[in-house]
Amino acid sequence: MRYAYKASLIGSAHQFELTDDGLSWRIAGRSGVWDYADISTVKLSYRPVSMQQQRFRADIDNAKGGRIAILSTTWQTATLVAPQGHLYRDFIVELHRRMQAAGSTARLVGGLGPKTYTAALALLACLAVAMIGLLLMALFAANWTGALFLVGFAALFAWQVGGFVTRNRPRHYSFDQLPDALLPKVARNQ
């Protein structure tokens, strides 16, 4: 099974293959093969960017200190970043299956780190208090346009940031229970 993506418009594609020997990779002129049992950590996360809201990332560490990242999107033109949801999902699921078959003891984690997540929640709480304060001031001053703007902005902000925060809740998972929130949704007819 193979998977490839372009991390930037300039440069070669990052290429990965699941072989009998392990995870084979080729990135920027470097290459290697990591035995499935030597993979020490797999970290899945949801990482949207302005040009691609459905972007996922897998950070894979091996026992010798190496790290590679696999993204679910690829650059196609100067203005187009295309999703590769079903290809990415299939590759990540098969990687986990092969690691389990090889007897891997890798740490399987998802989302943000606990400290980063807690800091993000604290920042969101401060922003919520500030937004409520501004909304109350607008209502007391009978500034209906300002109040409506704040409600609309808060709804948009909650929609954009809320999805990021809820998907990236810190978690540990097992080989047979991959977190759906950290993998692209794939239509069943694909």
Predicted confidence (pLDDT) per residue in 146-163, tens digit: 899 999 988 888 887 887
Query: How large is the average pLDDT for residues 102-106?
Result: 91
Task: Kindly tell me the burial class for residue 96, based on how many C-beta atoms sit within 10 Å of its own C-beta (0-12, 13-18, 19 or more).
Answer: buried
Residue 97 within a domain: yes
Say yes or no: 158 and 85 in one domain. no
Q: How many domains does the chain have?
A: 2
Predicted confidence (pLDDT) per residue in 3-36, tens digit: 988 877 777 788 999 999 999 999 888 889 999 9
Choose one of 64, 81, 110: the last residue of a domain. Answer: 110
Residue 73's beta-bridge partner residues?
Answer: 83
- Provide the pLDDT for residue 148: 93
Choose one of 68, 85, 110: the last residue of a domain. Answer: 110
Pair of tokens at residue 143: 């500034």
Residue 176 within a domain: no
Q: Over 80: is that where the pLDDT of 80 sits?
A: no
The Cβ of residue 111 has, within 10 Å, a number of other Cβ atoms equal to: 23
Choose one of 110, 139, 173: the last residue of a domain. Answer: 110
Cα of 54 vs its chain's centroid, Å: 8
Question: Within the chain, how many helices (H) and strands (E) appear?
Answer: 3, 11
Say yes or no: 44 and 66 in one domain. yes
Say yes or no: 71 and 8 in one domain. yes
Say yes or no: 124 and 92 in one domain. no
Using the 8-state DSSP alphabet, how is residue 158 labeled?
H
- Provide the pLDDT for residue 49: 67
Residue 169 within a domain: no
Predicted confidence (pLDDT) per residue in 122-140, tens digit: 998 999 999 999 999 999 9
Say yes or no: 74 and 44 in one domain. yes
- Provide the pLDDT for residue 140: 92
CATH number at residue 64: 2.30.29.30
Say yes or no: 9 and 90 in one domain. yes
Find the helix or strand (DSSP H, E) in which 156 lies.
helix 144-167
pTM of the model: 0.79
Say yes or no: 105 and 120 in one domain. no
Residue 178 within a domain: no
Task: Kindly tell me the burial class for residue 67, based on how many C-beta atoms sit within 10 Å of its own C-beta (0-12, 13-18, 19 or more).
Answer: exposed
- Provide the pLDDT for residue 147: 92
C-alpha torsion angle, residues 3, 107, 55, 149 (rounded to 10) = 180
Range of the domain at 128: 114-164
Pair of tokens at residue 1: 């099974």
The 3 state secondary structure assigned to 96-152 is HHHHHHCCCCCEEEECCCHHHHHHHHHHHHHHHHHHHHHHHHHHHCCCHHHHHHHHH
- Provide the pLDDT for residue 187: 63
Say yes or no: 121 and 105 in one domain. no
Give the Cα separation of 34 and 128 in Å (integer): 45
Q: Characterize the bridge pairing of strands 67-71 and 56-62.
A: antiparallel
- Provide the pLDDT for residue 90: 92
